[in-house]
Structure 1
Amino acid sequence: MRNIIKIAFRNLKRSSRRTLLTAALITIGVIFVLVYSALSSSFKAYMVGEITDSMMGHIQIHKKGYIASVDNLPLDKNLNKKQIEKVLDILNDNPYVESYTFRIKLGGMFSNYVSSTNIRLNAIDPKKERITLPLFEKRIMKSEPHLLKQGEMLVPELLAKGMGVKKGDTSVLVVNNKQGSVNGLNLKVVGIVEPISGPGGRDGYFHIEDAKKILRIKEAEVSEIVVRIKDVSKLQEAMKSMQSLTMIKNQKDKPVFEIHAWTKLSPFYNIIKMLNIMDISIKIILISIVLISILNVMIMSVYERIKEIGTIAAMGTPPSTIVKLFLTEGFMLGVFGAIVGSIISFVIVKVIDTIGISFAFGRQSDLVLHPSLQGSDIVAVSIIVIIISLIASISPAFKAAKLNPVDALRQN
């Protein structure tokens, strides 16, 4: 085998111009894929963080049927005290869970004493909300960071602009509770909430104790429990660890709870899937570049070395050894391109990470992207390149092995 490697290296070195051109094409393909993957992965991670850490959390738990009717904000599908306790028994002992918070979602009428309009609201526990959604405060405009207090509310930006509502204004919130009675509450506007596309992107916020007061709730009652997990990459494992909740049945033998990951609730997940498809497409392009490059150089090598192949075959070299020789050449090209491409990609990504790339996302501008290249990505792309290099060498290798020594030696 050592002799085969030496001969293969000598053959590649002998055709140095073609070898370098082929290796350069492979290297460029590897660089393109790895740098794109680093940028794409960083952007996807940023998007996921913005959505989950500012609004949705990683997992949401509701009473069965709530999500199907969420547009109506049904108060009759809230979780009661006993159901909340069952959920907390699971969450408190779950190794994947970092924190959780409670919300009451409701609709009502908002008035600034001049005009009135419909409004969607989230009643929150400010302390738990800050821990579970660490980026929520970034969405609050025209307000100093502080915990939302009783008697205060945050108004969605579109409503504030349409009605001319400003920080410090006094407003009236009017809602109907489950029994149908109408109740009102005076609240002070302490901030404007920046919108985000998707469910909850245009909601206002106020204290959960104010919600209990205006809805006349005596016992613990919430619309949803928002869960933050320690590692978002283990979302599916965390979901499976909570599946025991879906097995709990009521007296009618129907499930009591439903659990949804943020990927099922946010339209932004479709963008993530599109980026994943683009990643696959880029890798297919890489495979094509490597396949065509290796195939071309191997076929040309066979035609240029017909007499040489005929000579070694006439000397008794078995066809299997000739196949190994060409496969080794393809393997060497793949390894060289993968190594050089990975090194250059690592340097490029480090430079981009140091400089940073400025971009805008939604209403936020002057954001800086800091890409990083994972070792798993480098290994995966390198393995793909090497395997494709071997596959591309198979056809020329067998073609060379099947040459008749007499016919090969007669070639001019």
Structure 2
Amino acid sequence: MRNIFKIALRNMTRYKRRTILTSMLIILGVTMVVLFSGLAGSVKSMMIGIITDSNLGHLQIHKRGYVSSIDTLPLNLNMNGEAYQNAAAVLDRDPGIESHAPRLKLGAVLSNFAESTNVRLTAVDPAKEPVVCPGLASRLLGASEAIQGPLLEQGQIIIPQKVANGIGIKPGDTVVLVATNRDGSVNGMQFTVSRLIEDIMGPSGKDAYMHIDDARSLLRTEKGEVSEIVVRLRSCADLDQASKDLAAAFGGFKNTRGKPAFEVHTWADLSPFASIANMIDVLIITVKIVMIAIVLISVLNVMLMSVFERIREIGTIAAMGTPPGKILALFVAEGFCLGLLGSVAGIFLGIAGLLAIKTSHVTFSFGRMDNLILRPEINVTELALIAAMVLAASALAALQPAWKASRMEPVDALGHV
């Protein structure tokens, strides 16, 4: 086998110009794929991290039917205190869950005594919320350092930046919230604006935040009532399996109709960015297909030319008793070496490009967030997959010309002009 690869390398050096041109095409294709995969994959991971860490969490638990009506924030589909305790007990027993936190969601009218506007509210436990969504603090305007103490206290409210700008609210102002509870009665309470929060894409992107006990007082609900439970996993890579495991664990709880009482939703089920993430995956696959096509065409062309130019040489070694299998292996090895050369050089150039981008601190915007720094990561598994695809495509492209060469009759090949 070693001799076969030695001969293959020697044949590549015999036709230096053709080898260089073919290798350059493969190198260009591999470099572009490494750069695109690294950049697109990093942007996707960063966006998912922003959405899950600052808003949605990895998973959410709801009462059956809540998510299908989530736009109306249905108070009649909240979990009661007993249901919440049962769900929390299941989550506490799961070793893959790092933390979980309750939320109560509602709609209200916000007034600064001069103007009014409708607002969505996410009522949170200020001690638990920053644990399940550690990126929430980074969305608070003026919060350049980590929050010391609770996220907010009772009697305080965090207002979305757009809402605040629209009706002229600033931190320290007093506002009134008026909400309609489940039975149709109306209640109002005064709050102090503690901070403003910037918007992001997706559900709850423009939500105001308040203390969960204040929300229960405003809505006059029973103690312990929640709309959803936000879950943070120890590893986001286990998301799909964790979702299945939790769905099975909650399957034992039934409502009065005998159907599952709870629903488990991943962040992708709740965020429109999931469609964009899927498009990024499709684009990466498309670019890889284009790369494979470049490799196949390049290697196939050079190997066909190699066979055509070396017909008499093939006839000579066949007449000397070289078996067809070894002739086939010689040409497949030559194509494989072309792919190996191109993939190694292309991967090194791609890694160099990713490192250059990382050190350049390239910035971009996402939703309302500006000056996000692009930090492309080098995925060893992805690089190994790209190299394997190139090598497989190179060997496959060389197979047909190699098969043709191995099936030549020595007499006809020696007589070829």
TM-score above 0.5: yes
Counterparts in 2 of 1:28-67, with a 5 A limit? 28-67=28-67
Contact 2:137 2:143 in 1 (8 A): no
Partner residue of 2:343 out of 306, 316, 338: 338
| 66-75 vs 334-343, greater mean Cα deviation | 334-343
Counterparts in 2 of 1:265-276, with a 5 A limit? 265-276=270-281
SS of the aligned residue for 1:249 comes to: coil
Residue 185 (structure 2) pairs with residue 181 (structure 1):
yes
Partner residue of 2:231 out of 205, 227, 232: 227
Rounded to whole Å, the distance in 2 between the matches of 1:329 and 1:137 is: 57
Residue 385 (structure 2) pairs with residue 376 (structure 1):
no
Q: For residue 89 of structure 1, what is the amino acid of its counterpart?
A: A
Residue 266 (structure 2) pairs with residue 261 (structure 1):
yes
Q: For residue 165 of structure 1, what is the amino acid of its counterpart?
A: I
2:291 is matched with: 286
Identity among equivalent positions (%) equals 46
Contact 2:335 2:395 in 1 (8 A): yes
1:121 is matched with: 121
Contact 1:120 1:204 in 2 (8 A): yes
1:83 is matched with: 83
| 369-378 vs 312-321, greater mean Cα deviation | 312-321
SS of the aligned residue for 1:227 comes to: strand
Residue 319 (structure 2) pairs with residue 314 (structure 1):
yes
Q: Per the alignment, do residues 387 and 143 of structure 1 end up closer, same or farther by CA in structure 2, a change over 3 Å counting?
A: closer
2:414 is matched with: 409
Deviation at 1:286, TM superposition (A): 0.8
Deviation at 1:197, TM superposition (A): 2.2
Q: For residue 105 of structure 2, what is the amino acid of its counterpart?
A: K
Deviation at 1:346, TM superposition (A): 2.4
2:246 is matched with: 242
Gaps of 5+ in 2: none
Rounded to whole Å, the distance in 1 between the matches of 2:95 and 2:22 is: 50
Count of residues in correspondence between the two structures: 412
Counterparts in 2 of 1:11-30, with a 5 A limit? 11-30=11-30
Partner residue of 1:205 out of 206, 209, 228: 209
Q: C-alpha deviations, 1:264-294, integer Å up to 9, x for none?
A: 1100111111111110111011101110111
Gaps of 5+ in 1: none
Rounded to whole Å, the distance in 1 between the matches of 2:4 and 2:166 is: 78
SS of the aligned residue for 1:195 comes to: coil
Q: For residue 36 of structure 1, what is the amino acid of its counterpart?
A: F
SS of the aligned residue for 1:353 comes to: helix
Residue 166 (structure 2) pairs with residue 162 (structure 1):
yes
| 391-400 vs 25-34, greater mean Cα deviation | 25-34
Rounded to whole Å, the distance in 1 between the matches of 2:368 and 2:142 is: 14
Partner residue of 2:194 out of 190, 196, 204: 190
Rounded to whole Å, the distance in 2 between the matches of 1:222 and 1:41 is: 36
Rounded to whole Å, the distance in 2 between the matches of 1:282 and 1:350 is: 21
Q: For residue 344 of structure 2, what is the amino acid of its counterpart?
A: I
Deviation at 1:222, TM superposition (A): 0.3
Contact 1:22 1:297 in 2 (8 A): yes
| 89-98 vs 354-363, greater mean Cα deviation | 354-363
Rounded to whole Å, the distance in 1 between the matches of 2:5 and 2:109 is: 80
SS of the aligned residue for 1:127 comes to: coil
SS of the aligned residue for 1:37 comes to: helix
1:2 is matched with: 2
Rounded to whole Å, the distance in 2 between the matches of 1:111 and 1:356 is: 42
Rounded to whole Å, the distance in 2 between the matches of 1:22 and 1:379 is: 21
Contact 2:159 2:209 in 1 (8 A): yes
Partner residue of 2:358 out of 353, 377, 401: 353
Q: C-alpha deviations, 1:19-72, integer Å up to 9, x for none?
A: 122122212211111122111111111100111111111101000000111111
Rounded to whole Å, the distance in 2 between the matches of 1:346 and 1:163 is: 49
Q: For residue 222 of structure 1, what is the amino acid of its counterpart?
A: V
Deviation at 1:384, TM superposition (A): 0.5
Rounded to whole Å, the distance in 2 between the matches of 1:169 and 1:213 is: 21
Residue 404 (structure 2) pairs with residue 396 (structure 1):
no
TM-score normalised per structure 1: 0.96
Rounded to whole Å, the distance in 1 between the matches of 2:39 and 2:107 is: 40
SS of the aligned residue for 1:221 comes to: coil
